[in-house]
Chain A
C-alpha cells in the first residue's frame, strides 16, 4: 500500500526559531500534497494544498509567509514554520495523493507534533 512518512515525528523549539517538517511519499509519486493542522481535541484543518512544481494554495486565514510550503519533487513536500510562537504548537499532518489513483484517496503521514516553548 501507499506509504507516506513525516520527519520529524516530534519537535520542540524555542519561540522565534523556524522549524522544517518533511513529508515524503515512499512508494508512489504524489502530484498533490496537503498540509493539515490539528489542535487538541479538534478535527483536522486544512492549511494548504500543494502541487509539485507550483505554488501552494493556502486556505483562508493561513499566513503563507509564516507557513512556507515547498513541493519541489513528486515525493517530497516541506512545511517550514517561520518565527514559531507557542500558539503554533500543534499536530501537523500531511497527506499525499497520486495522479493515477482515485482522486479522493489521500494517504496520510503519521504526523509531526510541534511544541514551541
Chain B
C-alpha cells in the first residue's frame, strides 16, 4: 500500500520567516509527487516533481525531490499571511485511474 507522510503536522511562523515542509513516501512504481495548497476550499495545484535534484520554483515557493531518499521538500521564503494554509503532498498510484494518495498535510500559520 502506498504511503505518504508529511512533517511537521503544523507550524506557526511570523511574516518574513522561511518554512521548510517535508514529505516522505513509499510507493510502488513511483512516477511523480505533487504538492497542493489548501485554504478554505479545495486544494490548488502547486508543483509536480518527477526528477531528482531539479528544483521547481514559483515565486517564493520552491520544491525539490530526492528519489534516492524518497522525500520531497517544499520551501516558502519571505512568508506572508496569505501563505497560511494546509500544504498537501500526494503521489499517484499505479491502480486504474492514477488515484492520488495524500499525506496528512502540514498546517502553516503565518502571523503578522
Contact = CB atoms under 8 A, between A and B. Distances in A.
Interface of A: 32, 34, 41-46, 49, 51, 57, 93, 95, 97, 102-106, 108-111
Given A93-B42, A109-B42, A104 B97 contact: no
Interface of B: 31-32, 34, 41-45, 48, 86, 88, 92, 95-105, 107
Contacts of A103: 92, 98
Given A43-B102, A104-B34, A49 B41 contact: no
Contact of B88 (A41, A44, A49, A110): A44
A104 B97 CA distance: 9
Contacts of B103: 43
A108 B97 CA distance: 15
B interface, over-half SS: loop
A43 B88 contact: yes
A35 to B, nearest CB: 11
Nearest to B103: A43
Contacts of A51: 96-97
Contact of A41 (B31, B44, B97, B107): B107
